[in-house]
């Protein structure tokens, strides 16, 4: 029997956001998903456009949905900024300049059409994309660079993007993120 790859483990949290253990990612997302640690990342180009991605069609949660640049889970004992950098590179082949956490306390709960639940403490990061986008097909079905105003409009149509992005975009907009990047 092979040991479980710690890169595929997620950090479980109590209601106060304190670590209480870990579990294999493959066993965490279901109809009663426990609260766990994740992150969201929004990357911008030199002209201020934001990179949106469409989740691969075979993803366990919210397959085929358009969303922010990258989402993921830190491994146990992995710093969040390192997890963001790792996943952005794995999923999109990009490096990040100026990575910063802009919504450290974001938390959400969402139920997909198939009943799978996302239940996450999910700090939100922003930065500038460095390099050409080279999406991993097992993670990303499609991508698009869009002006912030288009993403803001999509967030008002909650069915147009992921539920977490629909909640995050107005908060980012109020913080002036789409206007500064």
| C-beta separation of 65 from 55 below 8 A | yes
For 95, the enclosing helix (H) or strand (E) is strand 95-103
Task: State yes or no: 139 annotated in a binding site.
Answer: no
Annotated catalytic residue within 70, 82, 101, 120: 120
**30 annotated to bind ligand:** no
Structural tokens at position 92: 């999109």
Instruction: Specify whether 78 is catalytic.
Output: no
DSSP for 58-99, please give it. T-SSSTT-EESSEEE-PPTT--HHHHHHHHHHHHH--EEEEE
- DSSP 3-state of 37: strand
Give the C-alpha separation, 91 to 73, whole Å: 13
Q: Which of 71, 126, 139, 167 is the catalytic position?
A: 71
Residue 36 annotated in ligand binding: yes
120 is in an annotated binding site: yes
Question: What is the chain's Cα-based Rg?
Answer: 15
Q: Distance between CA 89 and CA 92 in Å, rounded?
A: 5
Is residue 8 annotated as a catalytic residue, yes or no? no
Report the distance separating Cα 108 and Cα 176, nearest Å: 21
> How far is it, in rounded angstroms, from Cα 13 to Cα 123?
14
**78 annotated among ligand-binding-site residues:** no
Question: Residues annotated in the binding site for Mn(2+), as ranges?
Answer: 29, 36, 73, 118, 120
Active site members: 71, 120
Question: Residues annotated in the binding site, as ranges?
Answer: 29, 36, 73, 91, 118, 120
Question: Residues annotated in the binding site for Mg(2+), as ranges?
Answer: 91
């Amino acid at each position: 029997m092979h040991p479980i790859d710690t890169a595929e483990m997620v950090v479980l949290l109590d209601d106060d956001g304190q670590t209480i253990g870990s579990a294999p990612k493959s066993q965490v997302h279901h109809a009663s998903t426990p609260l766990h640690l994740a992150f969201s990342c929004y990357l911008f180009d030199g002209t201020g456009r934001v990179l949106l991605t469409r989740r691969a069609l075979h993803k366990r949660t919210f397959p085929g949905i358009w969303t922010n640049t990258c989402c993921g889970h830190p491994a146990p004992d992995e710093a969040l900024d390192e997890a963001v950098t790792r996943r952005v590179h794995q999923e999109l082949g990009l490096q990040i300049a100026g990575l910063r956490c802009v919504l450290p306390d974001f938390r959400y709960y969402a139920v997909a059409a198939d009943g799978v639940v996302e239940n996450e403490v999910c700090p939100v990061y922003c930065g500038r994309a460095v390099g050409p986008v080279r999406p991993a097909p097992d993670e990303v079905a499609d991508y698009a660079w869009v002006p912030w105003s288009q993403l803001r409009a999509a967030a008002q149509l909650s069915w147009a993007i992921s539920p977490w992005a629909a909640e995050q975009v107005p908060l980012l907009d109020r913080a002036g993120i789409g206007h500064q990047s």
